[in-house]
Structure 1
Amino acid sequence: MDHGHLDVPYDEEAHQRPREIEVDGARFERIPIKTHVVLPGEALDPVIEKYALPVLQDGDWLFMTEKMVAASQGRAYRVDEMTSRPLAVWLSKRVVRTTTGIGLGMPETMEWAIREVGTPRILFAAAVSVVTKRFGRTGDFYRVAGTKARGIDGPGYPTIPPYDEMVVLTAAKPRQTSEHVRDVLVGRGRSVNVLLVDINDIGGNVLGSTLTRADELLVARILKDNPIGQGHESTPLGIIRRVT
């Protein structure tokens, strides 16, 4: 089937990466799905049913980006409505900014990291990073602070509005959310698996899914080149479909 002629919300102009990829001798098609901008607190199920359901086939793997899911859970906050404690201001000036964004290098994102994982863990992460930097290691602050802190997204370009002025936290209950979406789709006649992913231009990982661990590792390889982009594409959903 030539999916290039399907009447589906696919952003062909914004997306330049190849539609198919070969992994371990098998070929997989990656189909980005364009949606409207999912706003903070907006219900997730209607978005899935409107945009993904018409495209899905039995056996597909539907993946959802963490930012969209976290926003739908109400875990996105405007920076101009936040007050950062002095510790967050001080620490934010001393962490290494990530290659994919500001990370915790601004008071507002650091403030949320402290709220999410607690002051003791953040201080311990800072202490560890001070020691390991002397031995040429970098990134230990983020590793010790953990997934909830590491996954916080800050505002700025090329983030699509209104998220260019917001801090977005990690999605809550990723596996349970994936199971819920799968059950919704099964109820609508689609036998599929569902994944919640965090991907960017330097790689990504599966945060929760209805797949086995081995298949999750396979997905990370299939999506390693970030086939849905991460700027103004507005493609927070995608499908992995095995073609050979």
Structure 2
Amino acid sequence: MFDSFNWGAGVIIVNLILSLAIAIVVAIAIILIALEWQHRNRPGNDLELRAVNWEKTPTEPQRLLLKGEFELCNRTKTLEIMVPEVTAKVKLLSDGSLANTRVNTRIIAAHEATTPRADDYWLAYIVKARHLTRFQVIIDIQSPNLKELQSAWVQIRYVTYGPQGRIPKVRHLVIPMQYPDPQIPPTPRPVEGGGQVFPIRTHLLAQLDDPVEVVQRYVMPHAKPGDIVTMGETPLALIQGRFRHPTEVKPGWVAVRICYFFMPTSSLATACGLQTLVDIVGPVRVFGAFVGGAIGKVLGHPGGFYELAGEQARLIDDVTGTLPPYDQFIVLGPEDPQGVVNRIRQATGLEAAIVDVNDLKAVKILAATSGLSTALVERSLRSNPAGNADERTPLVLIRPESDQSL
């Protein structure tokens, strides 16, 4: 009887210990899940760098100043983020040699309640929640061939220091320095089946541009009622800042393993190129599109991956996919192209379309104003009058055969 009682008590104690252990494990798991959820949903070092304005001022026949205004904005509600470092690097692109060209870059902080230092030292600064600080970048260019300079590729490198640790970041900006005369008539090209197209040359489009203003500046001096204006999807994406340097892309498990299965010429055949798609639509959708596309290909239905992964899968241009200096970047598809063409028509009265055209006579219309004949646009652009090289003609004016005079 005594032994039986001890055995029963031991079982009870063991059960209590096991129950307590399970409860502790469950509690720890819940705490870890809660911490992970909280971590993923916290903003962390959410400090946004904004380019406010750029000015180009010739000071001497062989000297030019570029002045840029920037803001560092803390978008969090409660967190303080420090900025211990900010530097600027400039790469000039030119039609000629840069052998006798000198570039000097200065960063002048404009922190609240502080006096800018004469030595241009960046004083580490705390940006409080929902506040911002400002600074100015001054680029002093001295060159005997200023007129040959095409653009300045500016890299603003800064460090955020806060809840996520010390995170280096970079913001890329392209500043155009050559502007063609918008009054020079473009050269017309005949269209098979009737009509004409006019490739419109512009400056190197960048984030400081607005697509409507670009059309007003370069197209409207030559447009007539009934004309149609088209803009390439890549130039529009560049204006919208939808490009990423490969150093900013961190390929994950899906991108590293699946990229090998794409054709070598595809923009998704590199881990960074495919990762940009993963970052847009998520790894689950990309993996599912890969599996579904593979099954569809076996069943005689190629192209299933792009149908399942979404429109952005077809629009990504990997490194080397566009003109310098954007050839160093992965360019995404544009955002809200329908809204852009609607704005163009409202401001100019012209029918408009955002298009993706290549030298293989493939024309894809991403967005078009209502009532526009897509068949006419496709026929007019089949020869790719804008080109895929360094023509710098992102706009094409289409004139139907009813009126072909400029």
Q: TM-score, normalised by structure 1?
A: 0.82
- Write the letter of the residue equivalent to 1:8: I
Equivalent residue for 1:152, pick from 302, 311, 316 = 316
Partner in structure 1 of residue 191 of structure 2: 21
Query: 1:35-90: CA deviations, max 9, x gaps?
Result: 11112453323322221121211111000110111111111112222222232121
> Within 5 Å, which residues of 2 pair with 1:130-149?
130-135=294-299, 137-149=301-313
> Greater CA deviation, 138-147 or 219-228?
138-147
Superposed counterparts of 1:38-49, under 5 Å: 38-49=205-216
1:83 aligned onto 2:250: yes
State the alpha-carbon separation in 1 of the partners of residues 300 and 341 from structure 2. Answer: 39
Match among 176, 180, 197 for residue 343 of structure 2? 180
CA distance, structure 1, for counterparts of residue 196 and residue 238 of structure 2: 27
Matches within 5 A, 1:117-128: 117-128=281-292
8 Å Cα contact 2:254-2:287 kept in structure 1: no
Which residue matches 1:55? 222
2:400 is equivalent to residue 230 of structure 1:
no
CA offsets, 1:127-165, max 9 Å, x none? Answer: 0232234356543222321211111111116x2112111
Q: Give the letter for the 2:327 counterpart.
A: D
CA RMSD of aligned residues (A): 2.2
Q: Which moved more, 1:129-138 or 1:64-73?
A: 129-138
* AA in 2 matched with 1:238: V
2:377 corresponds to: 219
* Structure of greater Rg: 2
Corresponding residue number in structure 1 for 2:184: 8
State the AA in 2 paired with 1:87.
Answer: V
Is the Cα–Cα contact under 8 Å of residues 40 and 75 in structure 1 kept in the other structure? no
* Structure in which a larger fraction of residues adopt helix: 1
**Distance in 2 of aligned mates of 1:233 and 1:65:** 13
Q: TM-score, normalised by structure 2?
A: 0.51
**Which of 301, 319, 327 is 1:164 aligned to?**
327
> Partners of 2:221 and 2:246 in 1: how far apart?
36
Tell me how many residue pairs correspond in the alignment: 220
Residue type matched to 1:56 in 2?
Answer: A
* Equivalences for residues 199-214 of structure 1 within 5 A: 199-202=357-360, 203-212=362-371
For 2:364 and 2:219, the matched residues in 1 are separated by 21
**Structure 2 unaligned regions, length at least 5:** 1-181
In 2: Cα distance, 1:9 partner to 1:103 partner: 36
1:198 aligned partner: 356
Q: State whether residues 192 and 379 of structure 2, in contact with CA within 8 Å, keep that contact through their aligned partners in structure 1.
A: no
Partner of 1:3 in structure 2?
A: none
The structure with more strand, counted as a fraction of residues: 2
Deviations 1:179-201, CA, capped at 9 Å, x for gaps: 1112122xxxxx32111111111
- With CA pairs under 8 Å and 6+ residues apart, which has the higher RCO, 1 or 2? 1
The structure 2 residue matched to 1:36, chosen from 188, 203, 209, is 203
Q: Which runs of 4+ in 1 moved over 4 A?
A: none
**Contact 1:200–1:230, Cα closer than 8 Å, also in 2:** yes
Percentage identity across aligned positions?
30
Distance 2:355 2:295 in 1: 32
Q: Which amino acid aligns with 2:199?
A: P
Q: Is the 8 A contact 1:116 1:149 kept in 2?
A: no
Gaps of 5+ in 1: 1-5, 13-17, 186-190
Could you tell me how far apart the structure 1 residues matched to 2:267 and 2:310 are? 13
- Which amino acid is the alignment partner of residue 120 of structure 1? V
Give yes or no for contact 2:358–2:384 (8 Å, CA) kept in 1.
yes
